[in-house]
Chains A and B, each alone.
Chain A
Amino acid sequence: MKCKRIVYADLLVLLGLALFTSWYLYQAWSASSKIENLIFILPVAAITLLLCAFEAIKQLGSKTVNQAENEEQQESVLSVLPVMGLFAAYVLTLEWLGFDLGTVLFIAAFLLIQGERRPAWLVAYSLVFGALVALFFSNMLPYPMPMTFIATEY
């Protein structure tokens, strides 16, 4: 069952790449079908689609799952997904939370998920790191960043 799931997931990624290639080719073609626009995109997209078809046939034809041997396949998706979700939440809320507050919260939440149980250490590290990095970048960058506590023109 596990092997089958891996094959399907692998095929899904391949399908995703083929769909992206087809969509992008269609988009480019719709924008302009002149040679100046397609001189590079058309051949590259055609080769990509051919390679995708070849790989799909190869995967459907193979009875063994080589990937199962790969140690990366053994990693637990369940342990990566919460971290990925937290990272996505951090990035997508930065404009509202600001880089200073957002970073402090992200680091504290990450440490908590990863098993840090010393509250003083958790709070101190996330506060000090978040504040220092936010201060450094807000002073070094030539354009304003979204911030909650640090004064900015954003």
Chain B
Amino acid sequence: MIDFDAVLLAFDLLFSSFTPWLVVIPGILIGLVFGAVPGLQISMAMAIFLPMTLYMDFMQAMLFLTAIFTGGTFGSGVPAILMNIPGTSSAIATAFDGYPMARKGKHNQALGVALGASAFGVLIGYIILFVLIKPISMSVLKIGPAEMFAVILWGMTLIASLSGTFIVKGLIAGFAGLLIGTIGFNETGVLRGTLGSEYLLDGVPVIPAMMGMFAASELLRLVNTQYLVENEAARKVNIKLILQGFLHAFKYPVVLIRGSIIGVFVGAVPGVGSSVSNLLSYIETKRRDPDPLSFGRGNPKGVIASESANSTSEAGSMATLLALGIPGGGATAVMLAAFAMHNITGGPQFIREQTDVVYAIIFANFGQVFLLIALALMCLPVLANVVRVPMNYLIPSVLALAIFGSFGLVGNMSGPITVLVFAVIGWLFRRYNYSVPAAVIGVLLGSMAESSLLHTLQISGGQFSYVLERPITMAIMALLVLSLFGSKLMELLTKRSAVNS
């Protein structure tokens, strides 16, 4: 499975000269900034800096782009924790518990926990990639729309889990979100619910909708609050507490490892990737926890679950890019462009003939993890000062930032208008106890679920037996049923055996 000669050559490629490493620190910093500013995306950073890679050799270009990827994946969790704005859809679940932690005055610990889980995720993800790059990429080829639907269905169960105390209202919010997610053209070219607006042809812009529902509606609710953290003593920024949080993440190895495994395999699925992996990891952690009600109220395990999964997804998406030449999302699509600029084509032949280069990229990411930790520990104390800004200054500043960001994401005024509309919907939902996270998950998964279900229908010709012939679909469905009812079934069986004996 591992080619040891190629390993030696990879070390030689990386360490014979210091030059490839010169671009890593700027890369991570660019990624951190683009991830942390709502509206700027990792793929945008890569696209902006892509022309610079023309002047680099292939190895250096890959190190630069993966450094942006690594920095950006962690960076997107920072506004999710401090402002309830997930920088990307891969940080949605980070906001569920990260933001409540920040509001309780545990912003230092939350940032530290996120960093610890992210660093572990990247490291373990690339270790898995190093050992299993070929099997992972081959398994991706066996994944079709039926398997994708099964994974998305698993993600949709989160809607019920996030419904909170008002279950029926939570479900209504989630299902309405699913419908909103399908607005616009469907895969067969039928147009639905656009009200004649050309801005909605591609559907409701998901991330601006998320910014409106999560951040803007929450900020409107906090108009009468003095500070994000009410307790003045808890408002301090402390590097020791960030470090404490960093170490705290490693107290939950099961959560970390489960998140990483989900992240690497779901991350490898093109088009689904880290957007769903963080949700799956969160839901599984919540479901298996002895105190599931503490989730959504500032449980650090929620942050660990999400961050370990979304950062591991980077390795998963790199697996499909390197081994198959298929980009899983925007960031890997830009990397594919960098491949083309250096006359390299990803795929089985690339892996076979240039194994040393593949290994060098993987090893470079091990090094990047430690640089990420060092750079993030330097930047986080500055960013954490957000909690010390009075709310009358913070609210308009964050709202304005969200509006700029939403324009940046879409490229026209539909972004800011989406933020406004969903801010009002989110405020109404919060006021009347409809679950905002459930609605956001619905909007995110709606079109994905519809497309994969439609593709399954088209491929199967409407025959249900098609699903029974797909072992991976059946396995995912079995896992889903087990995760939903497994513990209750076990309880029932234990009770029955106790009664019998």
Contact = CB atoms under 8 A, between A and B. Distances in A.
A76 B420 CA distance: 20
Contact of A17 (B172, B178, B427): B172
Nearest to A18: B172
B476 to A, nearest CB: 18
Contacts of B374: none
Contacts of A54: 168
A24 interface: yes
B175 A39 contact: no
A92 B419 CA distance: 11
A34 B395 CA distance: 47
Contact of A137 (B190, B408, B427): B408
A9 B358 CA distance: 60
B431 interface: yes
Contact of A106 (B396, B411, B428): B396
B403 interface: yes
Nearest to B195: A27
B392 A39 contact: no
A9 B224 contact: no
B179 interface: yes
A44 B177 CA distance: 10
A36 interface: yes
A114 B396 CA distance: 10
A70 interface: yes
Nearest to B34: A140
B221 A51 contact: no
Contacts, number: 167
Contact of B216 (A13, A41, A87, A114): A87
A22 B168 CA distance: 18
Interface in B35-52: 39-40, 44, 47-48
A79 B416 contact: no
Given A31-B192, A52-B172, A70-B433, A90 B48 contact: no
B176 to A, nearest CB: 5
B190 A32 contact: yes
B188 interface: yes
Interface of A is mostly: helix
B282 interface: no
A109 B404 CA distance: 18
B168 A58 contact: yes
Interface residues of B, number: 61
Given A39-B457, A55-B172, A110 B396 contact: yes
B32 to A, nearest CB: 15
Interface in A59-107: 67, 70, 72-73, 75-76, 79-80, 83-84, 87-88, 90-92, 94-95, 99, 103, 106-107
Given A54-B168, A106-B396, A137-B404, A28 B224 contact: no
- Range for the number of chain A residues in contact with chain B: 35 or more
A125 B224 contact: no
B64 to A, nearest CB: 18
Contacts of B375: none
Contacts of A107: 396-397, 400
A31 B190 contact: yes
B416 A9 contact: no
B220 A55 contact: no
A91 B420 contact: yes
Interface string B304-327: 000000000000000000000000
A60 to B, nearest CB: 14
Contacts of B397: 107, 129
Given A84-B424, A106-B396, A115-B392, A67 B432 contact: yes
A96 to B, nearest CB: 11
A1 interface: no
B457 A48 contact: no
B377 interface: no
A141 interface: yes
A149 interface: no
Interface in B213-236: 216, 220-221, 223-224
B393 A125 contact: yes
A99 B407 contact: yes
Contacts of B190: 28, 31-32, 34, 36-37
Contact of A13 (B168, B396, B432): B432
Given A28-B190, A87-B399, A99-B407, 16 more contacts: A20-B176, A24-B192, A32-B190, A37-B192, A39-B450, A51-B175, A55-B168, A87-B423, A90-B403, A107-B400, A110-B395, A125-B393, A129-B400, A133-B400, A134-B404, A137-B404
13 contacts: A35-B457, A37-B190, A40-B178, A44-B175, A44-B178, A55-B168, A72-B431, A75-B431, A91-B416, A110-B396, A111-B393, A125-B393, A140-B44
Interface of A: 9-10, 13-14, 17, 20-21, 23-24, 27-28, 31-32, 34-37, 39-41, 44-45, 47-48, 51-52, 54-55, 58, 67, 70, 72-73, 75-76, 79-80, 83-84, 87-88, 90-92, 94-95, 99, 103, 106-107, 110-111, 114-116, 125, 129-130, 133-134, 137, 140-143, 145
4 closest cross-chain pairs (CB), A and B: A114-B392, A110-B396, A40-B450, A48-B175
